[in-house]
Chains A and B, each alone.
Chain A
């Protein structure tokens, strides 16, 4: 049994018995960790004085058994560092943050560290205090796909390999792993149509930073495209997708085109 100390963000919280919870934490150096926090809801223990909330940033100490990674770790201490109060004052920002947490939870593996992605998630939660939440979310999701090695190839057609840098209409296919040109599109079953400007906006997102000049149309379409890609990759829509869409004025998620 070893005690591990790390920086962590709370991705999920599930009640377990009357006063305990099972937490899914995204830690900086130990990847996603599932652990039980016994008696945490009582909030009387100094080791986690006020309980642990969703999307909180803190320093966690937990015990884990080497070689038994499938067993829940046990939380021994939590010190809250930041709870991002702006997320509690605005629903679209709150849901954008929860969408990021859900995507991270689905797309990263337990015990698979991604320090750069952790830093990006931390930046996202802090930056959501102003600006267009979808623009910041786009940048984070792009970073997420890059970090886990699932970033779609958008510079050339995945079928004929020709450059699509100047194309105005392009298709994205999750199964093909990237863009499909208009000429090859009829042969691909799973795909979503988009504009070249959207892909160019997306590929310009090299870091999770706030951009006050983000083009609103491209931002929304890029989110729809990323949501489509993540849905196809995960195999089901994220639970936050529709609530976030309705709050940001986007139509309900279209069904993927299949023949």
Chain B
């Protein structure tokens, strides 16, 4: 970088470069785009960043991201509060919501158990989940963790801590994704699909 580049611009490029998936060239392009855009547009971005840092927090009940605590899902009377979908990350809530099929509420674990990476049950929101179940009124816990070894371990752990409670524990189905081809499916996916087949 030439010394003649304004310090503010260099700083903006450096900040963009810290973002995931942004290299030096992309950072440079974004910085110049900001420079060329109107002041309102640029300040809109700046304010959006400030607001997200100032206002977004975890819901005290479900640990999803929210600006109002408890969140809109937890306080929605049309939701079936007796069915809790347990997910790893807040972005999983967005994806499940996009299906339009979930009428229950959520519980975000904020990760998964991964002893190899030093992530233990105490690092997640499992105690809060158990407390919700202990309070009563929960009929079903739908475990929607990822179908990876860590996600499955987390699911097994949840099942064990809820074993003493009168609550049904279910797991999202697995198998062939729509639009895929059997030719390219792995053995594990086919095993899941065969084991999880249902009447047609």
Contact = CB atoms under 8 A, between A and B. Distances in A.
A61 interface: no
A94 B152 contact: yes
A164 interface: no
Contacts of B117: 14, 239
B20 A80 contact: no
B160 A91 contact: yes
Contacts of A46: 184
A55 B22 CA distance: 31
A79 B189 CA distance: 12
Contacts of B189: 49-50
B195 to A, nearest CB: 9
Contact of A102 (B116, B157, B186): B116
A12 B156 contact: no
Interface in A28-50: 46, 49-50
Contacts, number: 67
B187 A80 contact: yes
B150 A80 contact: no
Contacts of A79: 186
B100 interface: no
Contacts of A243: 115, 120
B153 A94 contact: yes
Contact of A83 (B21, B160, B188): B188
Interface in A55-76: 55-56
B20 A18 contact: yes
Interface centre among A14, A49, A82 (most CB of B within 10 A): A49
Nearest to B159: A91
Given A90-B156, A239-B116, A54 B185 contact: no
B140 to A, nearest CB: 20
Interface in B164-186: 184-186
Contact of B149 (A14, A88, A239, A240): A88
B77 interface: no
A147 interface: no
Interface residues of A, number: 31
B193 to A, nearest CB: 12
B6 interface: no
A44 to B, nearest CB: 10
A207 interface: no
A19 to B, nearest CB: 8
Contact of B116 (A81, A90, A240): A240
A89 B156 contact: yes
Contact of A94 (B21, B120, B156, B185): B156
B162 to A, nearest CB: 14
B198 to A, nearest CB: 19
Contacts of B8: none
A91 B153 contact: yes
B187 A82 contact: yes
Contacts of A102: 116
9 contacts: A50-B189, A51-B148, A55-B149, A79-B186, A87-B149, A88-B156, A89-B156, A94-B153, A240-B115
Interface of A: 12, 14, 17-18, 46, 49-51, 53-56, 79-83, 85, 87-91, 94-95, 98, 101-102, 239-240, 243
Please give me the 6 A-B residue pairs with the lowest Cβ-Cβ distance, nearest first: A88-B152, A83-B188, A54-B149, A80-B186, A243-B115, A91-B156
Interface of B: 20-21, 115-118, 120, 148-150, 152-153, 156-157, 160, 184-189, 191
Given A12-B116, A89-B152, A98-B149, 15 more contacts: A46-B184, A49-B184, A53-B188, A56-B188, A80-B187, A85-B188, A85-B191, A87-B149, A88-B152, A88-B156, A89-B156, A91-B153, A94-B149, A239-B117, A243-B120
